[in-house]
Amino acid sequence: MGGNRSWVTEFVLLGFQLSAQTELLLFWVFSLLYTCSLLANGMVFALICLDHRLHTPMYFFLSHLAVIDMSYASNNVPKMLANLVTQNRTISFGPCIMQTCLYLAFAHTECLILVAMSYDRYVAICHPLQYTFIMSWSVCNLLATTSWSFGFVLALMHVILLLRLPFCGPQGVNHLFCEILSVLKLACADTWLNKVVIFTAAVFVLVGPLCLMLVSYTHIFWAILRIQSGEGRRKAFSTCSSHLCVVGLFFGIGMLLYMVPDSSQREEKEKILALFYCLFNPMLNPLIYSLRNAQVKDALCRALQVRAR
C-alpha cells in the first residue's frame, strides 16, 4: 500500500437501500420470521433433549440442525434488523470478520450434517436389520464431531486468507451482512487465491455432499417402491420428497452464489438469495424435518399435558 493509504477500521453494510417505509415493513416481516425460526428450532431442540423416545440417531442429527439454524440466523439477522431501522449501518472490522467466520462455519457444518442425516435415512430404510449396529452412538458422535470440526476449520482457513489482505477503502459492503465475496471486493490487493479456495471449498461442501445425498435418496426411493402397503409408500414418498426439495434449495442456492461467475447485475439478486439462508431455511427445516413428524407431535402433546398438570 502507498504511504497515503490507511487501514480500514469499519465497514458500511449497504443492504437493500430502499425507502424508509419499505425498510420498516421489512423490519417487521423479518422480525416475525426470525422469531418464528427461533421458537420452532428451540422447541424442536428442547423436545429432543427432554423426551427419551426421541433419543435416536435421526433426532440426534435434527437437534444439531436446530442448533445450527438458530446460530446461523442469530449471527446475521439481528444486525440486519438494526440496519433497517437506523441510519448508522457501520460495523467494525473485527465484528465483521467474526460474522464472516461464523456464517461460513455454520453453513459448512449444516451441509455436512445434512449428509449425515441422509446417510442415517439410507441405512434405516435400505438396511433396517443392521441399522442399530451401523448407526451406533459412537458413529453418530463421530459424524457430528467431524461435521462441526470440518465446518469451523474451513471457515478459519477462509478468514486467515481474508486477513492477509489490505483494506484501504472503499468501506461499503454491498450486502445485508459481511458476506465473504462482498468483503473481498473491498480489498486493495489481488484476491485470486481467496476465490480459488472458496470455489474449491464449495466443491467439497456443496457438490460432493449433494452427490452423496442424491445417491442415498435414489436407493431410498427404490426401497420405497418395494413397500407393499400403498399408504406406507405414499407417506414415505411424501416425507422423502419434501426433504429432497429443501436439500435441493439449500445446495442449489449455495452453488449459485459461490460457483457461478460473478457479475455486477447479480448483487441485488444475491442479497435476496442470502435471505433464504438467514430467514427462510432456519424456519423451513423444523417444519419439514421435525414438526410434520408424528413422533415429534406426540412428544409435543406429552410436554403440553405435563405442563397443564
Global confidence as pTM: 0.89
pLDDT at 265: 61
SS3 12: strand
- Among 203, 91, 93, 201, which Cα is nearest to 156's? 201
pLDDT tens-digit readout, 107-147: 999 999 999 988 998 898 888 889 999 999 999 999 999 99
Partners of 173 in the β-ladder:
13
Cis peptide bond prior to 128, omega within 30° of 0: no
CA 64/CA 104 separation, integer angstroms: 16
Q: Which homologous superfamily does the CATH classification assign to the domain defined by 10-307?
A: Rhodopsin 7-helix transmembrane proteins (1.20.1070.10)
For 222-281, what is each residue's pLDDT tens digit? Answer: 888 877 777 767 777 776 777 787 788 889 888 888 887 766 567 778 888 888 888 888
> Is residue 2 very low, low, confident or very high in pLDDT (cuts 50, 70, 90)?
very low
Distance CA 78, CA 55 (A): 32
Output the pLDDT for position 201.
92
| Annotated domain spans of the chain | 10-307
Average pLDDT over residues 147-164: 95
pLDDT in the model for residue 218: 87
Q: Is the pLDDT of residue 194 over 90?
A: yes
Q: How many CB atoms lie within 10 A of CB 56?
A: 19
In 3D space, the residue among 129, 97, 146, 122 whose CA is nearest the CA of residue 236 turns out to be 122
Percent share of the chain, pLDDT over 70: 94
Over 50: is that where the pLDDT of 92 sits?
A: yes
Backbone angles phi, psi at 70, to 5 degrees: -65, -40
Q: What are phi and psi of 76, to 5 degrees?
A: -110, -40
C-alpha cell of residue 246: 429443501
**pLDDT attached to residue 72:** 93
* pLDDT tens sequence across 165-175: 988 877 899 89
| Secondary structure E strands in the chain | 10-13, 90-92, 172-173
Using a pLDDT cut of 90, give the percent of the chain over it: 46
CA–CA gap between residue 47 and residue 27 (Å, rounded): 30
pLDDT in tens, 6-63: 578 889 998 888 888 998 999 999 999 999 999 999 999 999 998 888 899 989 999 9
DSSP letter at 173 equals: E
- β-pair type (172-173, 90-92): unpaired
With a CB cutoff of 8 Å and minimum separation 6, the contacts of 19 are: none
pLDDT at position 11: 92
Identify whether the C-beta of residue 176 lies closer than 8 Å to the C-beta of residue 194: no
What pLDDT does residue 96 have? 94
